[in-house]
Amino acid sequence: MSPELISAIRDRIAGGQEKEVIKASVLAMGYATEIFEAAYTLAQNDLNVAAAGAPIPSSSVGGKRELSSVYTLVTDSFEFAKSRLDLVALIAVPLLLFTLFSTISLWYQNTLELSGLFSGLAIVAGLVYVVNLTALLFIVTHQEGAEVVTLKEALSWTKRNIFSLFWIYLLTVLVILGGFLFFIIPGIVLLVSVYLAQYVFAVEGKRGMAALLRSRALIHGRWWAVARKIAGLSFYFFLFIFFLTLIYEGVKLVVELPDLTLAGELLMQLFTAFFTVMSMEVMHRLYKELSVGVVDEPAPSFIKTSYIGAALLGVGAFAALMLLALFMGSISRFDESVTDMFTSTTLHSEVLHVSLVADEYKLSNSSFAGVCDTLVPEVHSADGVECNDSETAWALSASVGEDRWCADTMTPAKQVYTALEDKLSCVELEVKADSLVNPAVNDTASSAATTTQ
């Protein structure tokens, strides 16, 4: 795009011509709609700068158009988001519902049915958010002046293209991950270079790796300028969130309300929705400015090969991380099994020792009454200990995890699967496997326990 076109559009705007009239003339000259929109934005920015009393910036720097300042991008996008609160609501509603349902699910985590219901509603809200976010991308990138893209049109586009957009997101992550394997810096370079891939897809229809390569072509030669814009925008948003958090914490301290956690989270989601609309508009404006005069040409073969290689490295890194997670999980489960085995063995030894202590107590006191006060402290490795005693009998049951050992007046130690409760004998506490093989064992055990007692 030549500076003369931008200058001509600027003169027509200053002369009071409507945008649609100017657009018709430019399109009649053979320019694409995207080129006109980008040139019109730049011309309008020049007039805004001139209206503020500053000189109009040079049409080009090193053969390429200067980009709008971070301040201009932020203020313009803020005005856009403020004028399109319907788009803010499009993002805010599913975010608010997701937060609300997730919180309620935690409140009822002890009630399986209610917890499951609200967890399911939270998942549905999350899916609606993803769909609406994709629709927002279409609306922002296809609005022209006063003409408003309807939600129905955006959802129809989303239905046809959401999986293609996800594929671009996945490729973006893989390429960046592969780049970070080369000592961080290539990953940062790729992170900025592919930043506009989703806007390329939405406006130009390029899919998959072609969208990433087109983003790289738009940013090539102005990487530092774009990186500074992204860093500056992030800094603005960080400052706003920082001061918002300070205000929120100050209100909590002064008002001393019992719990503002949910209210704070909901408020934060509202601002997140507003920032989402702002950031998408900012990057769309940046895309339009960068696309002026950049001819759509096939990427050099070595660039395409390097991007594909980075994506493959990303796949390898992702697979390696998954295998590492599985391996570490297996190691953790093995460690738990070994720990449980040794703990169970230790508990068995302690319960055996309890029988000797009980016999010594009987010799000294001529009775088992009160023996539990002496026996319970002897069991150190158990999660829980039950103990009953009388003048003539005693019984102690100790458990760790799913293992339970019992000892009584007649039994040094045996492994059992039920609680001791108020019994003075381990006889009724039969092994679960025996009970499953022969249900009559329970009746026999009960009779034996009655006889013993």
pLDDT, tens digit, for every residue of 231-259?
888 888 788 778 877 877 777 677 655 55
Residue 376 one-letter amino acid: V
Q: Please report the pLDDT score of residue 256 as a whole number.
A: 59
Picking from 82-86, 134-138, 173-177, 434-438, which range would have the lowest pLDDT averaged per residue? Answer: 434-438
Q: Is the separation of the CB atoms in 421 and 411 below 8 Å? A: no
Kindly report, residue by residue over 361-419, the tens digit of the pLDDT. 999 998 999 999 999 999 988 888 999 999 999 999 988 877 788 899 888 888 877 78
pLDDT of residue 146: 59
Sign of CA dihedral 66, 194, 155, 86: negative
Q: State whether the Cα torsion 220-223-225-229 is positive or negative.
A: positive
Alpha carbon of 42 to those of 75, 201, 223: distances in Å? 15, 22, 19
Strand partners, 406: 397, 414
- What's the CA gap between 158 and 145, in Å, rounded? 22
Cα dist from 67 to 130, 149, 186, 285, whole Å: 30, 27, 24, 10
Q: How many CB atoms lie within 10 A of CB 212?
A: 28
| Per-residue model confidence (pLDDT) at position 443 | 43
pLDDT of amino acid 293? 63
Collapse the DSSP code of 406 into the 3-class scheme (helix H, G, I; strand E, B; otherwise coil) and give the result. strand
Query: What would the 3-class secondary structure string for 406-431 be?
Result: EEECCCCCEEECCCCCCCCCCCCCCC
Q: Name residue 106's amino acid.
A: L
Residues 14, 17, 18: CA angle, nearest 5 degrees: 120
Q: Has this prediction a pTM greater than 0.75?
A: no
Task: With beta carbons less than 8 A apart as the criterion, state whether 429 and 397 touch.
Answer: yes
The reported pLDDT for the residue numbered 61 is: 40
State the pLDDT at residue 75.
87
Least confident of 2-6, 67-71, 75-79, 122-126: 2-6
Helix %, strand %, coil % for the chain, to 5?
70, 5, 25
DSSP state of 298: P
d(CA 134, CA 163): 10
C-alpha distances in angstroms, 55 versus 78, 172, 292, 318, 376? 24, 39, 21, 51, 88
Is the pLDDT assigned to residue 167 strictly greater than 90? Answer: yes
Specify the length of the chain in residues. Answer: 453
